[in-house]
Amino acid sequence: MGLTHLLFQNPLLFAAVAVALLYSVIAHEVAHGWVAHLFGDDTALRYGRLTFNPLPHLDIIGTLMLFFVGFGWAKPVPVNYGALERSRFGLIAVALAGCATNILIAFAAMAVLQFSAIAAMPELSTILSVVARINIILGAFNLIPIPPLDGSRVLMRLLPPAGQEALARIEPYGFYILAIFLFTGLLNPVIMFMQNVIYGLISLIIGSVRPGV
């Protein structure tokens, strides 16, 4: 069942799903800024981005992509990587914070779905299933090591200097490379593999089955 189908069948249910998914991408960005703040960079705090007020975070295209394609984004939280204490570990922690947050949200949604009382509430079950599915997609997608995705930040720290220089050279073109890979479907197997890994880890912990939507 797609999100547009939910809109026509039950507008109130769609509104609830929309709010939950909007806050999933906001939580992703707030997590980046919060972890950066823990490591000594207050840029996100000074720009008013450590908030769950959606207005400073909204990106129109990214929000539309979330609801109609299945993944999207908010405005990136500004981070001064040079200000991070223990810069190598701090950079990796900041980069992974957003993905980890989406995976934790998916874990919580799937865990709640295990309660029989929730299973008897179809509307709530649908909301939780969609939230789990989209957050796993968001986590898996952002782990791909192509700029400007979070995975590229991690890869940058793990590569030798020559590899870092090569990745830095393609970073200005990363969005276009990513768009080509997405529209040609070349990234689909990678995204599916990473989703399956995340599903497997969550299921291993809570004994869950993949949420169906």
Alpha carbon distance 90, 136 (integer Å): 24
Alpha carbon distance 73, 66 (integer Å): 7
Are the CB atoms for 134 and 71 separated by under 8 Å? yes
- The H-or-E segment that residue 207 falls in is none
Are the CB atoms for 73 and 138 separated by under 8 Å? no
Q: Identify which of 54, 68, 7, 3 has the alpha carbon closest to the alpha carbon of residue 26.
A: 54
Concerning whether 29 is annotated as a catalytic residue, the answer is yes
Cα 89–Cα 58–Cα 11 angle in degrees, nearest 5: 125
- Catalytic residue of the set 29, 85, 165, 171: 29
Enumerate the active-site residues: 29
